[in-house]
Structure formats: C-alpha cells, structure tokens
Copies of this chain bind each other. A is one copy, B any other.
Amino acid sequence: MVNRDELVVKSLGPCRVESPMLHLLKPRERSYYNVDPADRVLFDDTASALARRGSSPDDIPGFEPAGPRPEIYFDPSKTHAGIVTCGGLCPGFNDVIRALVMELHFLYGVRRISGFCNGYQGFIPKYKRPVVDLTPQSVSQINEAGGTILGTSRGEQNAGEIVDCLERMGVNVLFVVGGDGTLRGAQAISREVEARGRKIAVVGIPKTIDNDICFIDQSFGFQTAFSVAADSIHSAHAEAKASPNGIGLVKLMGRHSGFIACYAALARNDANFVLIPEVPFRLDGENGFLAALRRRVQRSGHAVVVVAEGAGQELMESATGADASGNAKLGDVGVFLRKRITEDFAAANLELNLKYIDPSYSIRSVKANSFDAVYCLRLAHNAVHAAMAGRTEVVVSRWHGRFVLLPIPLAVRDRHTVDPNGDLWMSVLESTGQPAAFG
C-alpha cells in the first residue's frame, strides 16, 4: 500500500539553531508519548503487516482485533444476556445500553435481555433492586438523556452471590459497564464462573470519565466531558476578566489523571495555569505556584486556574479513608487552593476577586455528544461480538484507532495517566505559557 521511501519527509537542510523551546525540551525523557524524532511510527500496525515485510512478529505484543466472527460460541435463541452499569455517572451510559440491546436483538436475535439495577447491588438479594426487561422498544429513546436508566452504585459485591444470581436466572452473557473497580469485580465474577465450570461470558465496556483506564485510546464520554468542562473554564474566564484582580478557579474531575483538565484547558485557551496529579508542584517560594499566579495577576489583571481534583494532594494534610468504590478519599484541592490564594493575596495586600467553580455533577450527567454517541455504539457492538464468540474476562477497547479486545487483568493492572514527558502535557505548556515546573 505504501513503501518506506514514500514516507521520508523533505528537509531544507541540517538544523544548527538552538530552539527557543529548549528549556521545555531538556527535562523531557523519551516515552511512549514522546518518541525520538529519529524513530518511526509504523504505517500498518498489525502483526501480519510485519510478517509480510519479513519481520518476525511472533513475540511482539499485539491485541486480538474486535469484530464479528463468522462462527460464534453461543446459540442466540438460547442466550440470556444481562447488563449492569456501575460507578459514577458518565456521558454515554444510555448509548451503550441501547446499542447492546439493539445489536443483541436485531443482529443476533437474542430475545432475553435483563437489566440489573444500581450496579452490582442489582444481583444481591438483600438490596431488593428490580430486574428490568430490556427491549428495542424500551431503549429506543434513552440515548437522548444523560444518566443511566439502570441506575448505578459504587462498591463491590460478593462474586459468589453474583454468580448465584446469574445461575438462578440462567444468564449466559454478562455485560458490565464500569471503571477500574468495576472491572476488578468483573474479573472476580469471571474467575468464580470458571471455578464453577460454568460457561458465562463476562465482557466489560470500560467507563471512566477521567480517561484513566490503561490500553484504551480514549474512554467513552471523555470528549463530552472535557467539552462541558471547557465551558466552565470559559465562564471562569469571563468572571476573572470582569473584576479587578479577578481569578477564576475551576476544579475538574481527575483523581489520578489530569486528562480532562488538560484537554479542557486546550479547548478554548482560557486557562493560564493547569495543575494535574501527574505533575507535582510547590505553592510557596519565588518559583512556587502562588508567586507565579500573583505575578500573572499583577501583570495582566486576571488569571484562570484549572486544577484536577487529584492534584496537590501531597500539599494538604492527608485525608483518610476511602469511598464505597474503594477509592482513597481526596482532600478538596479546590477549597484548599481558594484558601491559600486568598491568604497569599491578603499577605501581599492585593485586591482579589476569586470565583470558584466546581462543575463536576453538571459535567458527568449530560448526554453524550455526537462523537461519543458513535463511539459508544461501536464499543457496544464489539462487546456483543466478543461475548457471542465466547470471549470472557475481556473488555472492548480502541487502540490506535482500531477496536480490539483487552484482557481485564491488563486493563486494571495500572492507570492511564498524562505523561509529563509526553506531547499532551507539552501542548498544555505551550498553550498556557506556564513554567515547566513550580518550585
């Protein structure tokens, strides 16, 4: 399709001028997201392409492609599918539910589809959650609303009890829509099924508004989320500019990963400072954040600060405990920064008009935008294909733009975070003009 030489880029001549960006480039180490310029991105990233070229790709890691198979494992007319949605709200839940049902019903002819309510609680007798029959009729309009028609909850439940329920109801195929903790739960369910010698496929559709699941290009709902977040930053900008020494401070989602903060800050270019968990910062001192902020306000009259909720945790007296999902409780960095900025300006005897915006609930509850709607649909289709072909303990993913199948253990092994050496963070530094490090 294309040969090597065609991909060679012309150059006017050797580069002998030191880049004015060198101060930003020097501290960057090579990484997956910061490739050596002398390296190359493969045109065709499949193992077969390598083999055709004479390379031996046998021991090179590669994903199983997703997609429909000519022969499948389950007999559709005897298949009972279950769907459950878990964790915090995220744009696209209903799109996924809808597409699962439509695909199972119309493409495969599966007629029994049960929706379990309020996450894993829906399988446990003591919670008394209803089970809902899902039909094309009942789901046809649900993608026009945010939230999830099945409800959700946080927290794990006993895998044994869940498999008891699946067995009692004769569910063969279980679709689990959720994040890190939820997928660990799905893995436990799958292992329990295996231990009992049952044939129940457990397939995940990865959900994380923070975009923090590994080995996934981007999680569904993420684009919708950062788009709404960008509007909040725009509001903060309008507020900041309207008042003398105005500061707009926006706290966004991102417990461990600052993707929403980064993308939202890039979207409308209103932010002057972006603080994320992956890049620690100091508050005090001449090169600290507070001094940089103060200088910016004195120079320009206003500033906009975007902070991901997981940023700066090391600066606060540590919060303790965990929520029902097992997530460590975070200190509220937004409230903390508001206090510290206020004190800092007071100490410098400077007027301050700080407006603090925390839009999280308004972001995660909107319906999916058009891109995410398409993406949810295609993830769901591929989840159905995988399940009907008997794949289990697996989540559907998109990697390099291709839909692939990802073993759950790998998906939950680590977190996807913003690479401080990568091109996204470089874009943030370029766009905001903030220093590469505070302190």
Contacts and interface: CB of A to CB of B under 8 A. Distances in A.
A10 B186 CA distance: 13
Given A63-B40, A264-B370, A400-B41, A269 B143 contact: yes
A9 B407 contact: yes
A151 interface: yes
A148 interface: yes
Contacts of A358: 358
A67 B12 contact: no
A60 interface: yes
Give chain A's interface secondary structure class. Answer: mixed
Nearest to A34: B67
8 contacts: A4-B59, A13-B73, A15-B72, A15-B389, A37-B65, A55-B55, A141-B144, A232-B362
A381 B20 contact: no
A37 to B, nearest CB: 6
Interface string A382-408: 000010111111100001111111110
A321 interface: no
A277 interface: no
A18 interface: yes
A206 B270 CA distance: 26
B89 A239 contact: yes
Task: State the copy count for this chain.
Answer: 4
Interface stretch (A222-230, A285-293, A328-336, A341-349): A222-230
A15 B71 contact: yes
B147 A238 contact: yes
Interface in A123-171: 127, 129, 141, 143-148, 151-153
A45 B41 contact: yes
A141 B151 contact: no
A351 to B, nearest CB: 10
Given A10-B392, A42-B60, A50-B60, 7 more contacts: A11-B389, A35-B402, A37-B65, A43-B61, A236-B361, A374-B427, A381-B430
